[in-house]
Chains A and B, each alone.
Chain A
Amino acid sequence: MWIYEKKLEYPVKIKRPDPKMAKYIITQYGGPDGELAASLRYLTQRYSMPTKQAQAVLNDIGTEELAHLEIVATMVHQLLKNASVEDIKAADMGGYYADHDKALFYVDATGNPWSAKYIQSKGDPIADLHEDMAAEQKARATYEWLLNLADDPDVKDPLRFLREREVVHFQRFGEALEIVQDHLASKKYY
């Protein structure tokens, strides 16, 4: 089970509305390399991991990604909260507004809804862990492109935190892969 803590993993306090930035950042909410895809991918792959360490890594990173999903949602929410409809139109976000007002919905930066097609669960731990390592690098790259698009320090600061966590996760998945490879190699001698 999960226990909710009424706080963010990293603080988000965005004072200036910016619907254009909201439109870009929302891709880390419901886009192909976003936090929802990351969390759901790891939490569903954990059932077919062959070692305790790999199960732990998938479980715990999948859990941390839920905290990141909440950080991204908070950023989008605060960027939109006090934006005028005029600003939303000018940011080319009128289509989103027509469907959702300023509510949070799982879409990428161009409005495509989230899809389970973004993720895989192969039953082969080597294949899955390679996918997870690639996913962390794609998420890291997305945060870098978002940092290039951002100028407000209130926005850049949490984006930097999220980018750094992808690097740590990549490292842990790499170690899990090594552990699983050793485990599978040792089984052949039985």
Chain B
Amino acid sequence: MNYSEEQLMREIQKVEFAVVDLHLYLDTHPTDREALTLYNQLAERLKALKETFSRCYRQLVELHPSYQYPYSWVAGGGWPWTMRGQYMCEEEEY
């Protein structure tokens, strides 16, 4: 499936929500095999989505490889608290 930058970020946030929630659940249920299997499936999907995002658009995770020039940690996209960081790309700087 092809995603725009905003759609891909939404998908990452959706999958990550499930992973975060399962992660906390496993903290108190480390022997729940079913939950661990689900956690691993979703964590693999999340990892792949983040890799796609960082290859297509910009570095997402600190200390991970940065595939664009100039250094996309700084040059790519806005910081999360800015509207630009939220992919309202029609506004250059709000």
Q: Which residues of A are interface residues toward B (Cβ below 8 A)?
A: 3-13, 53, 56-57, 60-61, 64, 70, 73-74, 77-78, 81-82, 168-169, 172, 175-176, 179
Contact = CB atoms under 8 A, between A and B. Distances in A.
B80 A70 contact: yes
B24 A77 contact: no
A75 to B, nearest CB: 9
Contacts of B58: 6
B25 A7 contact: no
A79 to B, nearest CB: 12
Given A12-B86, A61-B24, 14 more contacts: A7-B60, A7-B85, A8-B80, A8-B86, A9-B17, A9-B20, A10-B13, A53-B30, A57-B24, A60-B27, A64-B20, A70-B80, A172-B25, A172-B27
Contacts of B86: 8, 11-13
Contacts of A78: 81, 83
Contacts of A73: 81
B57 to A, nearest CB: 11
B45 interface: no
Contact of B79 (A6, A53, A82): A6
13 contacts: A3-B61, A3-B63, A4-B61, A7-B80, A7-B85, A8-B80, A12-B86, A57-B27, A57-B28, A70-B80, A74-B81, A77-B81, A172-B27
A11 B82 CA distance: 11
Contacts of A64: 20, 24
A56 B62 CA distance: 23
Interface in B46-83: 58-63, 73, 77, 79-81, 83
A169 B24 CA distance: 8
Of the listed residues A6, A9, A78, A81, the one surrounded by the most CB atoms of chain B closer than 10 A to its CB is: A6
A4 B62 contact: yes
Interface string B1-36: 000000001101100110011011101111000000
B81 A6 contact: no
